[in-house]
Amino acid sequence: MALLVGSLVAFQWALSAQTPAHSTGSGQAAAKRPITYEVVDYWRSIQGTRLSNDGRWLAYSLTSQGEDGELIVRNLATGQEFKSPRGTAPTFTEDGKFLIFTIAQTKAEEERERRQTQSQASGTRGAGGQAPSTGSGQGGGRGNNQAARTPRTGMGIMALPGGQVTTFEKVGSFRVPEESSAWLAYYKGVGGAGGGGRGGRGGAAGRGAGGGRQAGPPAAAGAGEPPATGAAAREKRKDPGSDLVLRNLTTGEESTTPQVTEYEFDTKGAWLAYATSSTDAAKDGAFVRHTADAVVKPLMTGRGHYKSLAFDEAGQQIVFLSDKAEYDKPVSPYRLYYWKATDSGQAPSTSSGQAPSTSSGQATELVSATTPGMPSGMVVADSAAPQFSKDGARVFLATAPPPLPPPPAPAAAGAPGAAADADQPVTPTPIQVDLWSWKDPIIQPMQRVRAEQERTRSYRAVVHLADKKFVQLATPDLPAVTAGEDAARALGTSDIPYRMEMSWDQSYNDVYLVDLKTGKPQKVLEHWGATATMSPGGKYVLYFDENKGQWLTYRVADGVRANLTDKLPVRFQQENDTPDLPGPYGTGGWTANDASLLLYDEFDVWEIKPDGTGARMITGGQGRKQHLAFRYRSLDPEERTVPTNKPLLLATTNDDTRATGFYRVPFTGAPAPEKIVMLDRAFGAVTKAEKADTVVFTLSRFEEFPNLWVSDTSFANMKKVSDANPQQSEFVWGKSELIEYINADGKKLRAILTKPDDFDPSKKYPLMVYIYEELTQGLHSHAAPNVGTSINVTRYVSNGYVMLRPNIAYATGYPGESAEKCVIPAVNTVVAMGFIDPTRIGIQGHSWGGYQITHLITRTNMFAAVEAGASVSNMISAYGGIRWGTGMVREFQYEKTQSRIGAAPWDAPLQYIENSPIFWVRKIQTPYLTIHNDADDAVPWYQGIEFNTAMRRLGKEAYMFSYNGEPHGLRNRDNMKHWTVHMDEFFDHYLLGKPRPGWMDKGVTYLEKGKRDVAPMFKKKTATTTATEGR
């Protein structure tokens, strides 16, 4: 532990508060330089933004890939700032007097560990080329092994307003109570946060700290029948925990509890519950500590596992799981235990801080395998944390088949019993074979992907605490059940009858109401493709009928259905250009007591009675009139219902200009909502201080980094309070604008045109086109210099390109032709503006964008070079391919969604052929580059092979990069850099006239692959360096 004052810099920030109108770059354009690779790893991003409850303090982290980050803490009244090296994940105490944060590893340490991991993994994978196996995996071990690992991160405590920082090494996680500023608990192991907690907040540098609320068991998935044995065979083991430290933030006094595995505060910080796992079995247990007087009460002790501690909202009840009762048996299922402060003689926590009684009172068993109502062959599941209902009257938990016993350890040769074991029959090793049956509801690859879900599948249940009645809610036939806040019924769904058709159609479910008192299900919707939700008060089921394009309700009390929108003069269903049915524009929430709800059309907001007796437009039709899309924005994360006693804040987007901002309207409605602010920028997420009229948000444009701004909720005096990348003013950037073009069918469409900020209309520029589907929503998105699978727009514009990103409209059955009818006219529209060299046009896209490009070059020679990443080239073979990430067959994609054929190959063979570039490859005259990785989890890798070998067979220029072990999009940053350099070299050669790189002429042999080191190109340079040629 160290106290840092001198190294913590406190200063008045020189950056003056800026309004959006004055937030412009400085410096002469002529002095700016183009973006190069060396800046990429040092461009900073803002993470972990937090406001103190009183709105006085703002905290956030500045991070980059290449340098250690820093935590910034700003006094919003004075502008004073404090900085702390490598600080991340900040958390304010309730009163804002302390800020607790994680101290990350140095970048040098991270890089050293990364290189060690790469070195260990090298040689484990060959050159690739095999589709992922569909063989079943094996289960892991039980225990708490993570708790015993030494954390790599530290922790800091900053005292405010002075800014003094106390640091701690090797802290895995920390928590502070939500409604108390007196206490901090921090954990010297990895992980350690409670499983079902609702009382604390904290962080752990991305290592799974701070147990958030868990809604219940995993969603339904996998085969129709649950595994007969519940979980895979696993070794029974019990790892010791690590030190948990409780610190009084005011006095600095600390107490340490050893061998803790998880911990949890109640909301007010009156109690700290924790579980231990010790080398001394007598010290295993679950405990609760009264923080005011340090009295520790054992809830249960004895050899076993203790986990998933959870408080109710009032902080007076605790539940947890333990397998102590049967731990000495080969199979030791968990049981649910319960403790109540008043039952044990403990006085409820009060604002006076009165010390509790010290009388004994341990937890009692609430649910076990023998509890009345527990289905035969089921036990309490340990894979889902229990949680209290909001009113504390119920506990939700999960059940599952019992786990398998651990396999017996083989006796050593010559040891007692070895001979006897030799006489026992040997369990044969399973043959590694997959049987694909035409009757399988779910195909083998999908079963493989979902195997772990099946091994740990659990089914939701509830215990009513008043009478201790246990009720099973979910079952193998009704696997997914979601309970409302305090409603008497839950909503259940089952996809089991429709799992086979999911392969070629959308997903369907039967929807049920499940009575929480009896567990009895009542079917309300059958073969339902859209979502259905329960109203907060549990009085209605709300659902959208995609066939009719209407919102409907089902009244729980009497089963009456009402159509809410059929008599209204506007459309509540989105427009869609895929073969499947479009969904709704959405909902804005319910008012108190389920009295009404907010629904959206394309532009306006409606209040509608759930029984269908009334509807009114709150926004007066001004959204449609002015092409403003209004959407209700709540600034209260605890808000359960839409307030009716104050004006509604409306997040607003101008559909014509993509300007964003906010309007305000009384809940009772108005002829025209009141405009608060509208800017030609993109507003990011808005966060409000809990107890002050202070909000923080981001603003961005293509040329403007999304820095932090603060104001009150009137947005009248917005102030910029961060400057993450002041160096941006040194570089050539660009500006984006919307343009219109007419496609080949005469339809008016839009595109984004981005020009360098030193643009000269008298010059001729190369044009780079990027395509996907609709892109103009990103007009004001800022693109920081970076590497990845696709081009970085900013890098290209900064280096002398003009960028075009057109919207594309589709006709079912003709996806390739649709792209052709849009992209070519869009390009011609820009060429006609006079500043584009028509001989220097390139185009790039990935996945769906890659497919469209591969099709385009069979129809036009207008492009000097193209890159079409992870492209489908043969729709007939791709139709039956597998999306290895999910295990799904790709049939649905062609019949219902993005690939937009709208039929199976045997019903529309000519359309599949017409839209498959492989059949038209002879026409191609354009240099072709692609990336298609051998572990692609979305588009089968062999699609790239088919097309590349066809181009090679015909003597046409084509290059395919395939990164071994990488999925659909690159994840390894070294690979991203390698690919980005090569893609840029390809385009720069053909469109900027730069020298032809050696890899394009010589290729790279298998024995020489990957030897080109591009890393020096990304380092800050002290002298000119170049990367070696080759690949």
Whole-angstrom distance, CA of residue 664 vs CA of residue 673: 6
Kindly state whether residues 453 and 559 are assigned to the same domain.
no
Name the token pair of 270.
């009156």
Residue 141, pLDDT above cutoff 70? no
Residue 289, pLDDT above cutoff 80? yes
What pairs with residue 380 in β-bridges? 334, 399
Q: What is the average per-residue pLDDT within 1010-1018?
A: 95
Q: What is the pLDDT of residues 547-566, one digit of tens each?
A: 999 999 999 999 999 999 99
Residue 407, pLDDT above cutoff 70? no
Q: Report if residue 645 sits inside a domain.
A: yes
Last residue of a domain, one of 690, 719, 741: 690
Q: What is the average per-residue pLDDT within 266-287?
A: 95
Least confident of 22-26, 223-227, 500-504: 223-227
For the chain, what percentages of helix, strand and coil (3-state, to nearest 5) are there?
A: 15, 30, 50
CB 766 within 8 A of CB 791: no
Residue 520, pLDDT above cutoff 60? yes
Residue 134, pLDDT above cutoff 60? no
Say which residue the tokens 């539940």 belong to: 319
**Which CATH number fits the domain that encloses residue 765?**
3.40.50.1820
Cis peptide upstream of residue 161 (ω within 30 degrees of 0):
yes
pLDDT of residue 750: 98
pLDDT of residue 342: 76
Whole-angstrom distance, CA of residue 900 vs CA of residue 872: 13
Coil, strand or helix at 965: coil
pLDDT of residue 487: 79
Q: What is the average per-residue pLDDT within 460-474?
A: 97
Q: What is the average per-residue pLDDT within 485-499?
A: 91
Q: Report if residue 512 sits inside a domain.
A: yes
Residue 218, pLDDT above cutoff 60? no
CB 933 within 8 A of CB 867: no
What pairs with residue 492 in β-bridges? 481, 512
Query: Domain of 319?
Result: 172-346+360-403+442-461
Whole-angstrom distance, CA of residue 349 vs CA of residue 312: 13
CB 445 within 8 A of CB 884: yes
Q: What is the average per-residue pLDDT within 199-222?
A: 39
pLDDT range class, residue 122, cuts 50, 70, 90: low
Kindly state whether residues 304 and 226 are assigned to the same domain.
yes
Which residues, including other chains, have CB under 8 Å from residue 423's CB and lie 6 or more apart?
A: none
DSSP 424: S
pLDDT range class, residue 115, cuts 50, 70, 90: confident
Q: Report if residue 695 sits inside a domain.
A: no
CA 321 to chain centre: 29
CB 961 within 8 A of CB 941: no
pLDDT of residue 886: 95
CB 379 within 8 A of CB 401: yes
Residue 176, pLDDT above cutoff 50? yes
Last residue of a domain, one of 669, 690, 711: 690
Q: What is the average per-residue pLDDT within 702-727?
A: 97
pTM comes to: 0.88
pLDDT range class, residue 123, cuts 50, 70, 90: low
pLDDT of residue 236: 64
Q: Which among 704, 833, 823 is positioned nearest to 775, based on CA atoms?
A: 823
Kindly state whether residues 587 and 607 are assigned to the same domain.
yes
Kindly state whether residues 196 and 256 are assigned to the same domain.
yes
pLDDT of residue 31: 82
pLDDT of residue 428: 84
More reliable by pLDDT, 212 or 385: 385
Whole-angstrom distance, CA of residue 337 vs CA of residue 508: 37
Q: Which helix (H) or strand (E) holds 988?
A: helix 973-992
More reliable by pLDDT, 627 or 417: 627
> CB atoms < 10 A from the CB of 820, how many?
20
Q: Which helix (H) or strand (E) holds 460?
A: strand 459-464
pLDDT of residue 356: 35
Q: What is the pLDDT of residues 565-583, one digit of tens each?
A: 999 999 999 999 999 999 9
Residue 411, pLDDT above cutoff 80? no
More reliable by pLDDT, 759 or 214: 759
pLDDT of residue 412: 54
DSSP 67-135: S--EEEEEETTT-EEEEEETEEEEEE-TTSSEEEEEEPPPHHHHHHHHHHHHHHHTTSS-S--PPPP--
pLDDT of residue 22: 37
Kindly state whether residues 672 and 546 are assigned to the same domain.
yes
Name the token pair of 977.
């850099």
Q: How many CA atoms lie within 13 A of 202 on its CB side?
A: 34
Helix axes 815-831 and 848-856, enclosed angle (nearest 10): 70
pLDDT of residue 414: 55
CB 982 within 8 A of CB 1029: no
DSSP 276-327: E--SSGGG-EEEEEETTTTEEEEEEESSS-EEEEEE-TTS-EEEEEE-GGGT
Q: Report if residue 142 sits inside a domain.
A: no
Residue 17, pLDDT above cutoff 50? no
CA 252 to chain centre: 37
> CA-CA distances (angstroms) from residue 868 to 105, 850, 920, 981?
38, 4, 16, 16
Q: Which among 175, 11, 21, 120 is positioned nearest to 709, based on CA atoms?
A: 21
Q: What is the pLDDT of residues 324-334, one digit of tens each?
A: 999 999 889 99
Residue 687, pLDDT above cutoff 70? yes
Kindly state whether residues 749 and 807 are assigned to the same domain.
yes
Q: Taking the chain, what is the end-to-end CA distance rounded to the nearest angstrom?
A: 48
Q: Report if residue 435 sits inside a domain.
A: no
pLDDT of residue 416: 54
pLDDT of residue 19: 42
Kindly state whether residues 245 and 380 are assigned to the same domain.
yes
Q: Report if residue 519 sits inside a domain.
A: yes
Whole-angstrom distance, CA of residue 236 vs CA of residue 160: 47
pLDDT range class, residue 12, cuts 50, 70, 90: very low
Residue 896: phi and psi, rounded to 5, are -130, -30
Whole-angstrom distance, CA of residue 268 vs CA of residue 178: 6
Structural domains counted in the chain: 3
Residue 392, pLDDT above cutoff 50? yes
Last residue of a domain, one of 413, 428, 461: 461
Name the token pair of 388.
């209290």
Coil, strand or helix at 343: helix
More reliable by pLDDT, 45 or 22: 45
Kindly state whether residues 790 and 843 are assigned to the same domain.
yes
Q: Report if residue 25 sits inside a domain.
A: no
Residue 850, pLDDT above cutoff 50? yes
Q: Which among 75, 227, 210 is positioned nearest to 155, based on CA atoms?
A: 210
Kindly state whether residues 512 and 637 are assigned to the same domain.
yes
In this structure, which amino acid lies at residue 3?
L
CB 979 within 8 A of CB 959: no
Q: Report if residue 591 sits inside a domain.
A: yes
Residue 1028, pLDDT above cutoff 50? no
Residue 1026, pLDDT above cutoff 60? no
pLDDT range class, residue 282, cuts 50, 70, 90: confident
Least confident of 99-113, 411-425, 764-778: 411-425
- Strands across the sheet with 2-4, in order? 2-4, 164-168, 154-159, 98-103, 87-92
Residue 225, pLDDT above cutoff 80? no
Kindly state whether residues 492 and 447 are assigned to the same domain.
no
> CB atoms < 10 A from the CB of 146, how many?
16
Residue 950: phi and psi, rounded to 5, are -65, -45
CA 190 to chain centre: 22
More reliable by pLDDT, 188 or 720: 720
DSSP 181: S
Least confident of 575-584, 849-858, 863-872: 575-584
Name the token pair of 580.
């499947």
> CA-CA distances (angstroms) from residue 883 to 397, 574, 609?
34, 27, 43
Residue 222, pLDDT above cutoff 70? no
Least confident of 227-236, 354-363, 618-627, 650-659: 227-236
pLDDT of residue 897: 95
pLDDT range class, residue 224, cuts 50, 70, 90: very low
> CA-CA distances (angstroms) from residue 369 to 264, 302, 335, 663?
27, 20, 8, 56
Q: What is the pLDDT of residues 261-271, one digit of tens each?
A: 999 999 999 99
Kindly state whether residues 457 and 494 are assigned to the same domain.
no
Q: Which among 319, 277, 315 is positioned nearest to 177, based on CA atoms?
A: 315
pLDDT of residue 424: 62
Query: What proportion of the chain, given as a percentage, has pLDDT over 70?
Result: 85
pLDDT of residue 415: 53
Rg, C-alpha atoms of the chain: 31
Name the token pair of 287.
């405990």
pLDDT range class, residue 422, cuts 50, 70, 90: low
**Which CATH number fits the domain that encloses residue 472?**
2.140.10.30
Whole-angstrom distance, CA of residue 986 vs CA of residue 992: 10
Least confident of 437-451, 682-696, 1010-1024: 1010-1024
Instruction: Output the average pLDDT for the chain.
Output: 88
Kindly state whether residues 820 and 767 are assigned to the same domain.
yes
